[in-house]
Structure 1
């Protein structure tokens, strides 16, 4: 009886491992598809595709709009804090 129970557990483990492998393959394929779409769109727009180009674009100051105003300013990064103990 113990052998049958161990065999069923092993079979269940293998089935779950197989489904996990299938889900991982689907996730990797969808990620590759998304990166491929981003690459094609960047090439069609004439922009470089890469991490350096992305960060350079994100760090540029905001472009003024037609009305001459820039987009809403992002809050400044916190560089220093002051802590006080409350008695």
Structure 2
């Protein structure tokens, strides 16, 4: 009886490991597909595709709102550098 339980556990482990492997493969394939789409879109728009270009664009200061532009709200002059944290009992 103990041998049958060990065999069933081993089979269950192998089935779960196989499904985990399939899920990891699907995740890697979908990630590769998404990166490919982003690469193609960047090339069509004439932008470089890469981490340096992404961070350079993200670090660029935002454009100031035009006077009289609809929806132009004022931005704060200083960045938030500290937060207040409280424990909730």
**TM superposition score category, shorter chain reference:** 0.7 to 0.9
Aligned-CA RMSD value: 2.8
In 2, Cα distance between the equivalents of 1:51 and 1:34? 15
Structure 2 unaligned blocks of 5 or more: 84-89
Q: Which residue of 2 aligns with 1:73?
A: 75
The 1-side partners of 2:74 and 2:12 are apart by 55
Give 1:72 deviation, angstroms. Answer: 5.7
Q: Distance in 2 between matches of 1:4 and 1:34?
A: 45
Query: 5 Å matches for 1:7-26?
Result: 7-26=7-26
Q: 1:28 to 1:72 in 2, by over 3 A?
A: farther
Gap regions ≥5 residues in structure 1:
82-87
Structure 1 segment 6-85 matched on structure 2, within 5 A: 6-64=6-64, 67=69, 73=75, 76-78=79-81
* Cα deviation digits, residues 1-39 of structure 1 (max 9, x gap): 111110000000000000000000000000000000000
Could you list the structure 1 runs, at least 4 aligned residues long, displaced by more than 4 angstroms after superposition: 69-72
TM-score, structure 1 length as denominator? Answer: 0.78
Match of 1:47, SS state, is coil
